Amino acid sequence: MVAVALLIPAIVFATEFLFFKGSDYKEVYQEIRKAKVIYLGDIHDNMSLHMLYFRIISDLIKDKEKIVIGMEAFQQQFQEHIDDYIAGEITEEELLERTEYKKRWKFEPSLFAPFWRLARKKGIPLYGINIPTELVKEVRERGIENVKSGYLPPMIILTGPRYREFLLEAMKDHKNTDEKKFMDVQLAWDNGMAYKIAKLLVAHPDSKIVVIVGSGHVWRGWGIPERVSHLVGELPQAVLYADEDEVYFLFSKDFSREISSTNSINEPN
């Protein structure tokens, strides 16, 4: 089982960044409800973590919160087919086939199916937020500075030193990886998904945006959340991310600055 390791606002960073630890579900959930964007940072093959996130979304629906769901598992160019599935016009099998899910995402569909089935059952708008594989390939081959795409913001928001350090550590798990190419692809993913979320905020001004995305893209509020703040300005964002058997929760109105510049010895591991 996944431990929810969260509780009292123990640390307040200069950027209104809160780290909760030692909490129970009820306390964390009440904080989540205050957010405009809610990031559920997953470990893609961890079903128990997905069950926790499914409970959060189900409770938001039960409490009559108006939400839309964004999923990294689907790429943005297939939105037409996602819409058709939510509307009941195609089957789940057709959804997976037309979005090329097994080719482009590759994780077992049963790990993520509860989310899209719930969205269909409740009539909740569901969006693919990932960028096309073809764009990732182009960025890797040409360099992000040489690529223009409607899936990326007009100006690429660069990576701060602490997030860069985190990514370089993660890169060690990928043998024989070129650092420039690795960092460019991460920039493309983070910027592209943040840009889509910014568009969803405009398209659904009265809804909360619930984002199911890999924990690495939202770690400590870096990656996507800080870029959303850059794109749309200050707004309340909640971040849950997983580290092995623990889940951490962050809440902030502004992730656009370097949120871990503090020298606090009590910052999360």
In terms of C-beta density within 10 A (0-12 exposed, 13-18 middle, 19 or more buried), how is residue 257 classed?
middle
The token duo for 257 is: 């600055």
**Range 194-209 average pLDDT:** 98
- Residue 23 pLDDT: 66
The token duo for 93 is: 């099998």
pLDDT digit string, tens, across residues 85-108: 999 999 999 999 999 999 999 899
263 domain residue, yes or no: no
CA 167/CA 94 separation, integer angstroms? 36
149 domain residue, yes or no: yes
170 domain residue, yes or no: yes
Q: Distance between the two ends of the chain, CA-based, in angstroms?
A: 20
- Read off the pLDDT band of 143 (50, 70, 90): very high
Q: What range defines the domain where residue 145 resides?
A: 3-252
11 domain residue, yes or no: yes
**Range 175-185 average pLDDT:** 87
- Read off the pLDDT band of 112 (50, 70, 90): very high
pLDDT digit string, tens, across residues 246-258: 888 888 877 765 4
Pair 113, 121: CB distance under 8 Å: no
Q: Which residue type, as a one-letter code, is found at position 34?
A: K
Torsion of CA 18, 173, 223, 164, to 10 degrees: 90
Q: Is the pLDDT of residue 53 over 80?
A: yes
- Read off the pLDDT band of 194 (50, 70, 90): very high
Asked whether the CA dihedral 98, 105, 138, 159 is positive or negative, the reply is positive
- Residue 4 pLDDT: 39
201 against 165, higher pLDDT: 201
Domain containing 219 — which CATH number? 3.40.50.11550
Q: What is the pTM of this model?
A: 0.87
- Residue 256 pLDDT: 65
**Mean pLDDT: which of 85-89, 171-175, 179-183 is highest?**
85-89
The secondary structure of 191-211 as a DSSP string is HHHHHHHHHHHHH-TTSEEEE
* Pairing assessment for the beta strands 246-252 and 237-243 based on DSSP bridges: antiparallel
Pair 104, 230: CB distance under 8 Å: no
Number of structural domains found in the chain:
1
**Mean pLDDT: which of 65-69, 181-185, 239-243 is highest?**
65-69
- The number of residues making up the chain comes to 269
The token duo for 52 is: 């926790």
Going by C-beta distance under 8 Å and a sequence separation of 6 or more, which residues neighbour residue 254? 15, 16, 229, 234
